[in-house]
Chain A
Amino acid sequence: MSGFSPYANLLKLEPRIDEDGVFRIVMPYHEAVMGRPGFLHGGAIAGLLELTAFETLKRALGDENVAMKPVTVTTDFMRGGAHRDTICEAYIERLGRRMANVEAFAWQKERQAPIAAAQINFLLERPHPHVSA
Chain B
Amino acid sequence: MTLIPPEVLKLLKDGFEIRKFFELVHSFGHGKAIGLEFSDCGEGWVELEMEGRPELVGVPEENIISSGAMISLVDTCAGSALWHKLGKFEPIVTVDLRLDYLRPAFAGETLYARCECYKMTRSIAFVRGIVHTGERDRPVAHVAGTFMRHP
The residues of A with any CB-CB pair to B shorter than 8 Å are 5-11, 31-38, 41-44, 46-48, 50-51, 69-77, 80
A11 and B54 alpha carbons, distance in the complex (Å): 14
Q: Are A47 and B5 in contact (CB under 8 A)?
A: no
Residues from 59 to 79 in B contacting A, C-beta threshold 8 Å: 59-60, 65-69, 71-76
Beyond known contacts A31-B28, A43-B72: 16 more, CB 8 A cutoff: A6-B54, A7-B66, A8-B58, A31-B29, A32-B30, A41-B30, A42-B97, A48-B68, A70-B101, A72-B98, A73-B71, A74-B96, A74-B98, A75-B94, A77-B93, A77-B97
The residues of B with any CB-CB pair to A shorter than 8 Å are 1-5, 28-34, 54-60, 65-69, 71-76, 93-101
A69 and B31 alpha carbons, distance in the complex (Å): 26
A71 and B102 alpha carbons, distance in the complex (Å): 7
A71 and B56 alpha carbons, distance in the complex (Å): 19
Q: Are A41 and B72 in contact (CB under 8 A)?
A: yes
A74 and B145 alpha carbons, distance in the complex (Å): 9
Q: Are B57 and A50 in contact (CB under 8 A)?
A: no
A-B contact pairs, 25 of them (CB 8 A): A5-B57, A5-B59, A7-B56, A7-B57, A7-B65, A7-B66, A8-B58, A9-B55, A10-B33, A31-B28, A31-B32, A35-B29, A36-B2, A37-B3, A37-B4, A41-B29, A42-B94, A43-B75, A47-B69, A70-B67, A71-B101, A72-B98, A72-B100, A74-B99, A80-B1
A35 and B79 alpha carbons, distance in the complex (Å): 12
A31 and B74 alpha carbons, distance in the complex (Å): 20
A72 and B97 alpha carbons, distance in the complex (Å): 11
Q: Are B2 and A7 in contact (CB under 8 A)?
A: no
Q: Are B97 and A74 in contact (CB under 8 A)?
A: yes
A105 and B31 alpha carbons, distance in the complex (Å): 23
Q: Are B5 and A37 in contact (CB under 8 A)?
A: yes
Q: Are A34 and B29 in contact (CB under 8 A)?
A: yes
Q: Which residue of A lies closest to B92 (CB)?
A: A36
Would A6 and B98 be within 8 Å (CB), given that A32-B33, A44-B30 are in contact?
no
